[in-house]
Chain A
Amino acid sequence: MNRRLVLTLLVFVVSLPCAVQAKQLAIIADKANATSNLTASELAKIFTARNRSWSDGKAITVVMRDPATADMQIVLRKLLNMTAEQAHAFVLAHRDAIMIADSDDAVLRFVSTSPGAIGVVDLYSLTQDVSVVKIDGKLPVEQGYFLRGN
């Protein structure tokens, strides 16, 4: 018992400086989507509805959580380049191409069952029902990954 709590405390003492660990978001697509990599610029075009179809002609639907939430700050900053208010207005104006889900589970469900959908979720919410799309050739866990931030 003593050793357990000591071990627990040790883990926390060691990990405390990393407690505000960099948040990593994963870009996901349905399993049938052949796109396995996008550049940051291509991704930004998709998320700002400037590109609305895949190379095979299939329509793109973007699904994400409310851009005003803390988890989506990286998306606001790095993909949309907007304030939360601007993003809110932008989403309202593009309802046909962008959907807002209330949880990562909802994003995963939608993407896994909707051909052409692309979504963004927390790395630690990933399931095997979707494919992870690389950004600039990098997966979320790799050094220099684009959608990594605090």
Chain B
Amino acid sequence: MIRKITIFRMSVGRMIAFLAGIGLLLAAVAGVAQQSVSPQTNPLTAALPLTTKSPEARRLVEEALTLYLDRVEQEQSIQILRKAVQVDPDFAMGHEFLAQISLDSAEQVGEQEKAFATRNHATSSEQMVIEWYQDAADHKLISAITKMNDVLKQYPRDKWVVWMSTWWLQTQAQYERSIAVYEGSGITDSPGLINNMGYNYASIRQFDKAFAMMDKYVAAIPNDSNRRIPTPKFCAWRGDSISPSNTTGRRW
């Protein structure tokens, strides 16, 4: 009897340990499952992190990017980015965006250097963006391309990643690839991207799509003072003769 009780007690102990083990295992599996469906790991919804110790600097960068891409206000955007990197000089992506958007070549170079120097304050994804641009600046083209594509694979629908990729490809005269990235992103409401795509389509002589993009751009920003500029440019590329009628006839 005593022996049986002892055995029974041992069994209960083992049973408790077994159940506790199962519980821990289930908790771990649930944790992994939760991680795998979180927005951070789902490429369709994942957003490139913007790492800074200053909430104010982050707010400024987000405001600057919105101004740049959604309202196509580059000058204002640059001023705000300059403020952001003053607030947090270690904000690596802040420096990177300023390097890309700035109109001053000395500032572009200086900010790229600062982005590279401060990249250890950022996440691995942000570091990859910064290294992609650094490789491009250092003429390591294959390395730059692979890093761009790896960032795109992680964030194919992130507006800033799509803008950085399409614009960089455009500067490399890779218009078809730039269009493929844009079309794959599913983003249709960004005037800045729409404007750039107009030029991409025109560059590969798909003028119907180029003009359609510019119509969308004008509809999105009807008061843009430069809306007439692309018309003569695109017409010239198409081989049209340039005359006052076709440079001003269309409402751009």
A residues in contact (CB < 8 Å) with B: 1-5, 7-9, 11-12, 15-16, 18-19, 21, 26, 122-128, 132, 139-141
- Establish whether residues B103 and A16, one from each chain, have CB atoms under 8 Å apart when the complex forms: no
Q: How far is the CA of A124 from the CA of B199 in the complex (A)?
A: 19
* Pairwise interchain contact A3-B203, C-beta atoms closer than 8 A: no
A sample of 13 more A-B contacts (CB under 8 A), given A1-B226, A12-B203, is A3-B103, A4-B72, A4-B74, A4-B75, A8-B199, A15-B171, A18-B173, A19-B175, A26-B142, A122-B177, A125-B149, A140-B142, A141-B141
CA distance A11 to B171 in the complex (A): 7
B225 located at the interface, meaning its Cβ lies under 8 Å from any Cβ of chain A in the complex: yes
A5 nearest CB neighbor, chain B only? B226
Q: Which residue of B lies closest to A11 (CB)?
A: B171
| Residue positions of B touching A, CB distance < 8 A | 72-75, 103, 141-142, 145-147, 149-150, 153, 169-175, 177, 195-196, 199, 203-204, 224-226, 229, 233, 237
Instruction: Kindly list chain A residues whose C-beta atoms are within 8 Å of the C-beta of B237.
Output: 16
Question: In terms of DSSP, what is the predominant structure of the interface of chain B?
Answer: helix
Chain A, interface SS category = helix
Closest 9 CB pairs of A and B: A4-B74, A21-B173, A5-B226, A127-B149, A128-B146, A124-B177, A141-B141, A124-B174, A126-B146
The answer to whether B177 touches A141, judged by C-beta atoms less than 8 angstroms apart, is no
Given the known inter-chain contacts A124-B169, A125-B177, A127-B153, please indicate yes or no for A3 contacting B75, CB distance below 8 A: yes
| Interchain CA distance A122-B170 in the complex, whole Å | 15
A1 touches B72 (CB 8 A): yes
Partner of A12, one of B74, B146, B199: B199
- Point out the residue from A3, A9, A11, A126 that lies within 8 Å of B149, measured CB to CB: A126
Q: How far is the CA of A7 from the CA of B74 in the complex (A)?
A: 11
Question: What is the minimal beta-carbon distance from A10 to any residue of chain B, in angstroms?
Answer: 11
